[in-house]
A = this chain, B = another copy of it.
Amino acid sequence: MPTVELRFSPLPAHVRTARLLAAVVARRAGVDESLIDEVKLAVGEACARAVGIHQAYAPGDEIVVELNDDGGAFVACVRDRGPSDADTAVEATGAAVADLPDLLDVDVLADPGESGDPGAAMPPGFGLAVIAGLVDDVEVTPADPGTVVRMTWAPSAR
């Protein structure tokens, strides 16, 4: 059972709320202060990714963030309800971190259209790859429908 769960409609403004909440719960769970930025960034990335997917595939559904601070570790799970392969190909093929510089070769990136979304310059799976680069313990699991991004941080020794 998650200790704190946040559900929100797919709007960018709520991503900040989710970030803030993740930071507060992580602090309380004993995650070291030096890791709080990482928690905010990773949870924010996972939520931003989910917002993008929901805006395309499930605009009426809420995104679910579960924050668990009752065990030895702090666990954040972000669940979307889009197609489960919306952008996970990069991750699934094991490309992730190692190939990021390639993915990002500025010359091969799509030209950002005037009206496209602001992240459009980045390849699909980029958000997930950033998370994988940041957080040691990440699991991306297809759900039915959607994807669960599960990130774990050990509590600081105290």
Contacts and interface: CB of A to CB of B under 8 A. Distances in A.
B1 A13 contact: no
Nearest to A6: B6
A62 interface: yes
Taking residues whose C-beta sits less than 8 angstroms from the other chain, chain A's interface range is 20 to 34
Nearest to A61: B1
Interface stretch (A16-24, A46-54, A108-116): A16-24
Interface in A47-102: 60, 62, 70
Interface of A: 1-9, 11, 13-14, 17, 20-21, 24-25, 28, 60, 62, 70
21 contacts: A1-B9, A1-B60, A1-B62, A2-B7, A3-B8, A3-B9, A3-B14, A4-B6, A4-B8, A4-B9, A4-B17, A5-B5, A6-B6, A6-B7, A6-B21, A7-B7, A9-B70, A17-B24, A20-B21, A20-B24, A21-B21
